[in-house]
Amino acid sequence: MAGQEFERSLKAGELLFKQGDAGNEMFLIRSGKIKITRSAGSIEKTLAVLKEGDFFGEMAVIDGSPRSAAATAIEETKLMIVDREAFNSQLKNNPMIAYVLETMSRRLRETNKQVEFLLIRDEMRRVVAMLVSMAKERGANTPDGVVIDFPYDYATLGGMVGMEAFKTEEIIKKLLGLNLIKIEDRKLIMPSLNDIDEYLRYITLKEKFSS
C-alpha cells in the first residue's frame, strides 16, 4: 500500500533491481546480505556488500534518479521497503534523515578508497591494503584476532579490487601460508593486525624502490 512499509523476501542469487532501472523505493535489510554492483561494458565491480541493518536505494526516493547500480541477494534475504511517499513524510519529524545523510557520506568515502585501491600497481599490495583498511574500520576485536565479517569468496573480493578471481585466490592463499590471515566459518580473521600492517609497509617499500 502506498505510503506504508512492507516486506519482500529474496532467494540467494536473486536480482532485486538492475543498473538503470527506474525506482521509487528504498530498502532496509532485516536479515541476509545484498551485493551492490556496477557495470561498465563487460566489467562488473562490486561496490559494497550490505548486511542486516544497512539500507540502500535511497537516491531513488530522494531525487527519483534511475538505479545507479544493481542489487543482488548473496543469501536468503528479507527486506523492509519504504516508498517515496512514506520516506518524504518522515523527513519532517524523523531523525532518519540524519542517518541517511551520514550513510551517504560514508559510502562516498568508501567509494573514494576503492578508487585508491584500484590505482595501486602491485596486486598483492592492493589486496592487503584493502583488507587492512576494512579491519581498521569495521573489524571486530576477538581473542582470535580481528574478524572481518564479509563474503570472502574470490570473485567478490576480486571484484572489490579489480582483479580476476583466480589471481585473488593466489594472493589469499599466500597470505594464509604466511599466517597473516585465517578463514573460519565464512569469516576472515587477522590474528595480528600489527603483523599484516608491517607486511603492508614492507611490500609498499619494496614496490617503491623496485625498478
* Whether residue 81 sits in one domain with residue 11: yes
Residues of the chain with pLDDT > 90, as a percent, come to: 37
* Whether residue 200 sits in one domain with residue 139: yes
Domain boundary pick from 42, 67, 96: 96
The gap from C-alpha 166 to its chain's centroid, in whole angstroms, comes to 20
pTM above the 0.95 mark? no
Amino acid type, 83? D
Q: Write the CATH number for 198.
A: 1.10.10.10
Q: Write the CATH number for 31.
A: 2.60.120.10
Mean pLDDT for the chain overall:
83
pLDDT in tens, 148-196: 876 567 888 888 888 888 999 999 999 999 999 998 887 889 999 999 9
Q: Could you give the CA distance from residue 116 to residue 46 in angstroms, rounded to a whole number? A: 15
Q: Could you give the CA distance from residue 59 to residue 1 in angstroms, rounded to a whole number? A: 21
Buried b or exposed e, range 93-112, using 16+ CB within 10 angstroms:
eeeeeeebeeeeeebeebee
pLDDT at residue 80 in the model: 93
* Whether residue 159 sits in one domain with residue 128: yes
Q: Please tell me the total number of residues recorded for the chain in this structure.
A: 211
In a domain, residue 56? The reply is yes
In a domain, residue 108? The reply is no
pLDDT in tens, 34-78: 999 887 556 677 888 999 999 898 877 777 778 888 999 999 999
Q: Could you give the CA distance from residue 46 to residue 175 in angstroms, rounded to a whole number? A: 22
Whether 3 shows a pLDDT value over 70: the answer reads: no
In a domain, residue 112? The reply is no
* Whether residue 72 sits in one domain with residue 148: no
* Domain range enclosing 70: 6-96
Q: Could you give the CA distance from residue 202 to residue 164 in angstroms, rounded to a whole number? A: 24
* Whether residue 86 sits in one domain with residue 139: no
> In the chain, how many domains are there?
2
